[in-house]
Structure 1
Amino acid sequence: MSPRDLSRRQFIAVTSATLLASQLPAEGVDLKSDDATKLAIEGGSKSLKNPSQKLIRWGEPERERLLSLLSQSTLLYWKAPQTTLLIQRFREHYPLKHVMTCSSGTAAVHVAIAAAGIGPGDEVITTPITDMGTVIGILFQQAVPVFADLNPHDYNLEIADVERKITSRTKAIIAVHLAGNPSKLNQLKQVADQHGLILIEDCAQAWGAAYQGKPVGTIGHIACWSLQDSKQITCGEGGIVASNDERFGQRLQPFADKGIDRNNVKQATEILATNYRMSELQAAFAAAQMTRMQGIAAQRAKLGNLLTREIQGLPGITAHQVDERDRCSYYSYILRIQPKFIHCGREQFVKALNAEGIAASAGYIPEPLYKKPLFQNHSFFAGRWPIREMGLTKMDYTKISCPEAEAILETCVLIRINQAMDEDYIRGIGAGIRKVTRHFTA
């Protein structure tokens, strides 16, 4: 029926119905009188009316392991029941021959760097957006962190810039799987092999993540994990370092145990190493947590990918980019706002999200690592940097810039995701992000 066939009364009825339908809230958005445009921060209804289920991180499996400790005569790690079980369960997910438990993820990275033979003046390429734990070991080995720029939306190392940063002094690359999102490991391994470099995987935030069907940590030469309290699985503090490469694997245990080779304790100590041992108490808890790891990672992956679908294509927002062949275990969900489309500052945007009931925060770390005062002042050791004073490096961090990394930190917003959330809760987060974004792009 064309407009000319309608009576005046019919025309008014049809157009009124169409107008009304166009103003209805999107499916899944629980808004009534306020409609979908009024922000909670301005008195509208929250997108998330109910809190997520309480996150329960431990229970009977952990209790059972801790009780079993009471029958032990020692809590030293070497060939002890809890550490043995932890390594066994770890290998069920990560088929790596040489495995050493450590006191922290930072310790694990330091052990990896030391086992790789990194020494004074050697250069190690890594990301400027990471925890200090990634670079502490480099500096304590008197080596030089070299910062490469990142891909804009997966937040991992940009291969081309890594290649640009390689010099005759480069000895290793540390790939950080930020927020549980796998780095481009095949390409990084190819670059490492072409230049005779060692590829170390920092999997601190990536428990259960997979790169093209393979567990992260099984592609590089050495890999490190963290069991710190905020990670997907935890024993409060702890770490694991592992390798299948015989050149480095046999060196992991001594470098975490004061240079002592526990397989031959009478052998003279030949290396300088610190004490990074994990106790049986930590190992017991971690062994129980290991049974939860795959389920936690799968749930986080499902929820994070759902959130991407909820906000994909939203003007002014760029979703967390994950390769469809990979599994991201979402330590957190990182989106970016596009300032040229969003008519407010990031802090205001995040406050509006918080008012909708969404656990969000502005930014990740305050600045790239190279902008921290100890880098800007080259003041790593009692206000000094001995290798620079001795002419072993000309690195000047005051002149370093990674433009994309800096832009990421200026525009990123972190959304908290955990395994206690369900799909309806994530849809509520998506609805809240859409609501806030549309308000500030109108």
Structure 2
Amino acid sequence: MAGPRKDSTKVRLTSFIVVFFELFATGSATAQVPLLLWSTDSLPSPASSVAGHITSYDQLSAYLTTAFASGPHTVLLFLQDKLSKDDFTVFGGVFGNERDGAFENLKAALQSSSSVTIPALEWSSSSAVPALLQEKLGVSPVLVDADTLSGLTVNTSISNLFLMNLPYCTRSLKSCKEDLHSNDEIIGKVLGVLKAKTIPYTAVYTGLQPSRVISESFVSEQSVGRSLLQAVAADVKPPIMYGETGNPCIMLWAQNLNISVSSTAAWTDLATQTPDLKDSMCNSSNALLVLSYPSGHKLSFAMSQRFYSVSARNWFTLDSVQLQFSGQTASFIGRRSIYAPAEYSFRCQSVNNFQGALLMPEDTSKNASQWRLNFIDFQIQGFNLANGTNFSYASDCAGFFTPGIWMGLLTSLLMLFIFVYGLHMIMQLNTMDRFDDPKGPTISVPQSE
């Protein structure tokens, strides 16, 4: 009996994976987050929907009303700072066959429990899902972690709502998998605590807001080459431009403009807000882009261009970046690596002041050592724009001779040296010019008595 049941489980799981990726295939401009729901009890089946359907807040409310209709429930809400369906497809391990995915504990929980997946839930605010669960259960959420939960006595005769906040990666895309794997370990540890206490539960995993993971499916639709915003896709926000309409003198684009006023404070992404550019200015030798945001933050980029006789051409540099908030000011100076030919733009995957820093605190700034800046996929140009809508060719901050290239060159040189030395030794071998005659007299050695 074990064989047929196992095959049936595989068939259902395969069908679930196919449906899930069909739902992923269609994008939408509406802000949305995925929501995963699983329970030790049986969950009602959701209403059938076509591929690409976006579940509304009212539809989720109606479903939870049915799911929590009878008896008290213990609900775990794993609320990540940011989450999108691309996090699952890029880092794998939940709905794919990757053995080293970032969500192994979550994958096991979904396969061993009654589960419901909502790939696209219409997102309105960060408090929508917690408020909805609080309304359906009639209890306020209790913020806990795995250690707190293990020492907590849970009364299953009444409804309980436990909230666990999970961070989202703020570093490079490569490190995101490690951060999401750490969150998955937290989920596994919390579920293990409830399993040890034999407490029935319903778990919900979603995000406070959508993340900004770029789907790999868009790569094949774009032309291959170093276009760098010369052909902006429909779903990519336009760059910030200052100057006359159709003829700007400063352009800036960034996927994220993350700032934090202390080493422990949460990140604020200014790229999600629309700035006021009225304090900006530009001329033939200097450019100042001032971004004033509704949240009270003011971010300034000061650039200059000058002629260098050694290279016989003009170069522009990002001289300083200044951040103002709540009457305080932090100033950072750009290192010499933030420069480009005057007719080029400057681009860098990450411009920050704490890891591989391109921005250094100014000596006269008191807050610069405490505040943090992290600009992701950053590109700026303050002079000689090619036309009114596009950046000029980009000078990238990544050097041509990366550590990997140096290692390859040194290894190749070492192998070449060994080959040349061996060839030289072989060429030095000489044959004997005279041999003993085997037919001649033998050598006799007299013995003395």
Larger Rg: 2
Bigger share in helix? 1
Q: Taking structure 2 as the reference length, what is the TM-score of the superposition?
A: 0.27
Q: Taking structure 1 as the reference length, what is the TM-score of the superposition?
A: 0.27
Higher RCO, 1 or 2 (CA under 8 Å, sep at least 6)? Answer: 1
